[in-house]
A and B are shown apart, each in its own frame.
Chain A
Amino acid sequence: MDTVSSSARPQADRAPGLRLLATLLGVAALAVVPFVAPTMQLLVNLALAKGLAVMGVTVLLRAGQVSFGHALYFAVAAYGGAFLMTAMPGADLLLVLVVGVAGATVSGLLVGLFVVRYRGIFFGMLNLAFSMIFWSILEKFYHVTGGADGIRLPRPTVLGMELGRADFELILFYLSIALMLGLGWFTIRWFASPVGQLFQTIKTNETRLEYLGVSPRRALLSGYLLSAVLCGAGGVIMGVAQGVVTPEYAWWIRSGEMVFIAVLGGSGSVQGAFIGALIYEFVRTYASAFAGDVWQMLLGGFLLVIILFAPRGVIGIVEALGRRGTRSEDAK
């Protein structure tokens, strides 16, 4: 069993140099997008925002838990930012980010305290229920939340400066890159930390945690909070980039989409979250641009092909092999 759980760790352990190089090249390629392909900038930025949120779902996948309601934190943070902009017109971008993420963290703590008692399908369903409650509130309390049309999130200032759209979007783009690097690095470090290791043991052998005198709930809660923070950061970036936040941010299909992207990129991989988000966003946009009204079908077909013929996603082949080994071990 020991070898199984260690093989579930990132393959960075095996080929750290190569993987780091590929990651850096990928980041560099993204960083020059505004200059090389300016028309892609917004699309990439939206993909990065989604990638941050998907990273949150990825964290939970490391513990073997699937949430069908993480769009909740995405939406809480985006609405937090929008409410702040309404209360304080011209607030700073960083303040919007901090307030939004703080909102996601607090709600993550409140919901997390309940849901960490559950596993598997119940964990997923309970998360779904909480996100749907939030969705209903956003839809219903029209005079506060703007109902189904949502509320505008006007452009924040940056370090006291009011910027035009082009300058602001450039700054937002590099802020997203910075968040991807910073939070991605933190998450990878966290996986390797003692708490992160305990957290991942929930997937392979939870009972052993208890024998060790460790509370699995506390370990799961810490990972859950991290995932809420990541989803929150993604939600704020998405809301600011769009200029409007709607209840659709909390809708169950959005949560499903996050899980979809996490699997597409390679479940459990931080880099995979962003690769998946970029692929997803490009397929979706170009399918809807060139295939008119059958984009959903194309996307669904694409998903089927991935699952049936490359279920390990783009990046997670090795991890998925390890997980399958674990499952057959468990079954016995």
Chain B
Amino acid sequence: MNRLLITSALCAALPMAALAADKPDALKVGMTTFLTGPASVFGVPARDAAEILVEDINANGGINGVPVEVTFIDEGAGAEALTSEFRRLVETGEAEVMFASISSGNCQTLAPLAEDLEVPNFMWDCGTQKIFEENDYTYVFRTQANAAPEMVAAVAYLLKTKPDFKTIAVVNQDYAWGRDSWDIFSTTLKALKPDVEVVGEFFPKFGAPDFSTEISRLQALRPDVILSTSWGGDLDTFVQQASQRGLTNTSTFVLPLAESSLERLGSSLPAGHIVGARGDHYFLHPERRDDADFKAFMEKYEAKTGDVSVYPVFHASQAFAALQAAYEKAIADNGVDWPSKEQLVAAMDGLEFQGLGNPVKIREDNQGIEDQLMGTTVQTGDYPFATLENIMIFDGDELTTPVGEVSIDWVGGLDAAFLDGLTVSTFEN
């Protein structure tokens, strides 16, 4: 009888054990980011931001009393070191949740790994739209937009502000991002404005130190619009060389990632060119800049680094906001002290959270829905670099490929009516 009681007590306890977890000493997070290599222009600001964010969370009592600890892994150390270290953190219990990664290539490697290891993984910065279109994931989420809404926003802004252009050329970095983003951009553009002529397509190699020859050709071709989705040193070099040789006076540049280069480009990026930010990320975000939390963070960040915030900082803030929101939701939903992995993953579905930008929502296919901000450069003299005017914030829902569809097919099926139907908030600066 006694034994029976014990057994039934054990049986009753078992499902409980599977559902809840003990409150740990710390919520350990592993975050992959570029500390070395060209992409450290994104990785280092993101790390600095993550340190501030974690400090803030812990200063406010952590998550349900549990402090957050973050370990950084260098994506620049190469794929082998990255995957080994990712596994080591997960398998030794040094990380309960992973944030990976900046590079789309690394996301494609690490997403299946995270799924196999059954560790919740937030793709906090990488852009490729293919991951959720080609596979279903239980443990992998994206706490930001992907390449499709980013490019559709750039096309929409271009057509709304400069509807009469005839010719376009592209100068993108020669790797998956440069190629894929041009595929989406050009397909969208052809669907929305079929009479545009593409007069030149250049894919100089990633990290190219010199674009002189491309610029000579562009000057001979004289396109109305020049698109470049490049970033970091490549974008800086291209814009500087183009500006030195007067190309910025004869063509309108569309630079969907240039928000992250504005400060470095200084006066080299003149007024009248179109700039994007991979989401609604801008240190003078018109809907957020008067909010106390936004202002407080921007001040802390500037004090710590001496620079203004760029989009990876916003993406890091969204990942940590998602983390906090998911744990709090899972704790509330299940009435537990600390959620199990399953409870956490269940809480991610439909999760809404707000980092430094507008609120983001996780869709049923684990993709985040994020608003998109685009603007036109202006040199006002308030800062020693270009800022944005005529800012448009596009509603993320309308720009993001519907669940179950493939982005490139979806954007190819759009028509001019799509452009008029978009919800846009416009701000002068």
Contacts and interface: CB of A to CB of B under 8 A. Distances in A.
Does chain A touch chain B in the assembled complex, meaning CB atoms less than 8 Å apart?
Answer: yes
Interface of A: 38-39, 42-43, 46, 139-140, 142, 146-150, 152, 164-165, 238, 242-244, 246, 248, 281, 284-285, 288-289, 292-293, 295-296
Nearest to A146: B176
Contact of B78 (A150, A164, A165, A248): A248
Nearest first, the 10 closest Cβ-Cβ pairs linking A and B are A148-B175, A149-B176, A149-B105, A293-B35, A288-B77, A165-B116, A39-B91, A43-B84, A244-B109, A288-B81
Interface centre among A238, A293, A295, A296 (most CB of B within 10 A): A293
Contact of A149 (B85, B108, B116): B108
B206 interface: yes
Nearest to A293: B35
B332 interface: no
Chain B, interface size category, equals: 20 to 34
B105 A42 contact: no
B84 A42 contact: yes
Contacts, number: 86
Interface of B: 35-36, 72-74, 76-81, 83-85, 87-88, 91-92, 104-105, 108-109, 112-113, 116, 174-176, 179, 203, 205-206
A34 to B, nearest CB: 12
A134 B236 CA distance: 29
Nearest to B91: A39
A148 B180 CA distance: 12
B80 A140 contact: no
Contacts of B76: 293
Given A148-B174, A292-B74, A293-B74, A42 B87 contact: yes
A140 B105 CA distance: 16
Nearest to A292: B35
B175 to A, nearest CB: 3
A213 B175 CA distance: 51
Given A293-B74, A296-B36, A39 B87 contact: yes
Nearest to B90: A39
Nearest to B80: A46
A75 to B, nearest CB: 13
Given A140-B205, A147-B179, A285-B88, 4 more contacts: A148-B176, A149-B108, A150-B105, A295-B81
Contacts of B79: 242, 244, 246, 248
Given A242-B109, A246-B105, A148 B206 contact: yes
A289 B108 contact: no
26 contacts: A38-B91, A39-B87, A42-B84, A43-B88, A140-B205, A142-B203, A147-B176, A148-B175, A148-B206, A149-B104, A149-B175, A152-B108, A164-B116, A238-B80, A242-B109, A243-B113, A246-B105, A285-B80, A285-B84, A288-B85, A293-B74, A293-B76, A295-B36, A295-B74, A295-B77, A296-B36
A309 to B, nearest CB: 26
B84 A293 contact: no
A212 B87 CA distance: 56
